[in-house]
Amino acid sequence: RARRAWCWLAAVFAQIFMSLVAASVVSAAAVGVVLYAYRQRVAALKPDGRPTVLITGTTGWLGALLAKRLVARGSVRVLGLARRKSGISGVVDIQADLTTGAGLGTLSHVGKIDACVHLGGVAGWCSLDEGLETN
């Protein structure tokens, strides 16, 4: 269902861009760049038959270590969720801030997740209530 929504959205955007190109508002090169970026994003998230593991906190020490080990084994597809890109080869990075409700919405397009390892968090001094709410 989510994939159909993405395909529908891509078709709508393509029609809008083509209308803008026809009206000489946007150049054809800009349309090509947007469509290329969309195809790259979809290709990176396309399932390949392997189980999908989502790891939060892949920019931290433990999250990065686990992601590298799983990628090295090659038996699972690894999605890394963090506020910034991890840069780990073989990990599909998803940038999101889970301390906001909008951050959870970024997971709607990734499809089925077979396992989740939650290693993300916010470090620092805070009250127990703040720590429990955030982490």
- The answer for residues whose C-beta is within 8 angstroms of residue 90's C-beta and 6 or more apart is 71, 78
Quick: pLDDT tens for 32-59: 655 666 566 655 555 677 888 888 889 8
Could you report the per-residue pLDDT of 76-108, keeping only the tens digit for each? 889 998 888 888 999 989 888 777 767 667 777
Residue 84's nearest CA partner among 56, 112, 45 is 56
Instruction: Please provide residue 50's backbone torsions phi and psi, each rounded to the nearest 5 degrees.
Output: -85, 155
CA distance 135 to 121: 5
Q: Among candidates 106, 73, 78, 108, which has minimal Cα distance to 90?
A: 78
Tell me the whole-structure pTM to 2 decimals.
0.58
At 51, give phi and psi (nearest 5°). Answer: -65, 150
Q: List the beta bridge partners of residue 54.
A: 79, 116
Per-residue pLDDT at 26: 52
Dump strand ranges (E) for 12-131: 52-56, 77-82, 91-95, 115-118
Using alpha carbons, list the distances in angstroms from residue 32 to 13, 18, 26, 36, 44: 12, 10, 11, 6, 18
